[in-house]
Structure 1
């Protein structure tokens, strides 16, 4: 990959369909970037859609099967598979962020999002390995079809992408993961709990990167960040922002209550 541009490396990750090859490409791109083997150039465009394997079958939320009895092995496999799919798509979201918008920001933006992409690849690999230990594997179950929608809806606007993907979608992971860890431990699955705790710690940093660069963009445009965030979320996010919130973890990521509390109150009234 020596001599290639950062954008070309990001595009190569996005175009990989096979999960193991995508993980390898993500790790190779991150390693090449850290070692100075990629130029900070954006000479190719990112694809509209990333490569996807033949399995899992992608279904709308209304057609997703129920996960079964809480604490059962089947239920835990279903939950871990859903999380693996989120992490698989997150690889593409991170490399698309770097490759699509990196030219609009200082070099540190690429440093952060290539690092996030490498983390997501590691998270996916850990979850897939755990699924295999439990007698399953990524692709064995259906998965949510709509996770790339946020990228498509914000492909034209870096600030909107930052507002929705790290500051809404990943922040939601901070809200729900501690309870999921507790459920795994209650079921005696300490191995899965440790993986989720590792992911949780990394995701605080990812949300922090999103908040940092969102605020950078707002300062550059002389826009008040909290109100701009709420405007962009209302415009580009199809879901809702509802409690309960993990205010402590969000705060550690710089995502203060001034951002989301007014929006959540509006959703509930």
Structure 2
């Protein structure tokens, strides 16, 4: 049955089970690409997406950090934290689709964010498989709620959402992922390292999409992009930006240093 893209987004946001959420995300993306969904539609997403009973969500400073060492505990904790990020990223992608349909946005905007939602679901499933291979599952460890707090802080303005989520949070992923890949390789876990390499390569595209639409919307609103981005980050993001920055990865995404160099903590 034909229904709208906004309706498909709400259907993903409404699923609490992580594995089902990922499958529904990929199915909705397939329906959009296959033109089984063609209407954008409109809808009001929830303040918070449906979530499973576990993991327990804690403030970021209460989530225990574990180093990769002998055994699997450190690797499991790292992959679990990344799976939590990717689960949130599925919801963030569908939320941006459903929440801002009142804006006059071209179809390319929706094509890009459906692609992001599809790839975030793929990333979650890849990480979930690695957690299972290490003897556990997503939900076995506590996690923090910082990502969705950023969504709440930018729910009123598409420009702010683009400034903070892809251009700060996902760009931070580009900074830290190469070192994580190296640590997993040093621990002999080539399978997990390969998964992170897939995620890293595709996240460059996600940052590029965020940067592209941020600049497009700045042009539409007759705003200068760099100064506008810096203002929005100061207003909407908690804390300074943390170096070191992966300048080659950021450059591939079109995120030049003139954006972020003045905001270093």
Contact 2:3 2:39 (C-alpha < 8 Å) held by counterparts = no
What is the distance in 1 between the residues matched to 2:102 and 2:32? 15
SS in 1 for 2:136: coil
Contact 1:8 1:44 (C-alpha < 8 Å) held by counterparts = yes
What is the distance in 1 between the residues matched to 2:232 and 2:70? 38
> Residues 92-126 of structure 1: CA distance to partner in whole angstroms, max 9, x if unpaired?
00011111124521111110001100100000000
Total equivalences in the alignment: 264
Contact 1:40 1:107 (C-alpha < 8 Å) held by counterparts = no
Where does residue 163 of structure 1 map in the other structure? 163
What is the distance in 1 between the residues matched to 2:204 and 2:175? 11
What is the distance in 1 between the residues matched to 2:61 and 2:194? 31
> Residues 184-238 of structure 1: CA distance to partner in whole angstroms, max 9, x if unpaired?
0000000000000000000000000000000000011111100000000000011
Where does residue 53 of structure 1 map in the other structure? 52
Runs of 4+ in structure 1 off by over 4 angstroms are none
43-52 or 173-182, larger mean C-alpha shift: 43-52
CA-CA distance at 1:72 after TM superposition: 3.8
Where does residue 195 of structure 2 map in the other structure? 195
What is the distance in 2 between the residues matched to 1:71 and 1:212? 42
SS in 1 for 2:146: coil
Where does residue 14 of structure 2 map in the other structure? 15
What is the distance in 2 between the residues matched to 1:187 and 1:43? 48
Aligned counterparts, 1:120-135, within 5 A: 120-135=120-135
Contact 1:67 1:75 (C-alpha < 8 Å) held by counterparts = yes
What is the distance in 1 between the residues matched to 2:212 and 2:68? 40
> Structure 1 residues 77, 259: CA separation in 2 closer, same or farther (over 3 Å shift)?
same
| Match status 1:204 vs 2:204 | yes
Q: CA RMSD in A?
A: 1.2
Structure 1: gaps of 5 or more residues: none
SS in 2 for 1:233: helix
What is the distance in 1 between the residues matched to 2:81 and 2:144? 8
What is the distance in 2 between the residues matched to 1:50 and 1:217? 26
Contact 2:218 2:225 (C-alpha < 8 Å) held by counterparts = yes
SS in 1 for 2:135: coil
| Match status 1:85 vs 2:84 | yes
TM-score by length of 2: 0.97
Aligned counterparts, 1:33-52, within 5 A: 33-52=32-51
SS in 2 for 1:38: coil
Where does residue 111 of structure 1 map in the other structure? 111
What is the distance in 1 between the residues matched to 2:168 and 2:50? 24
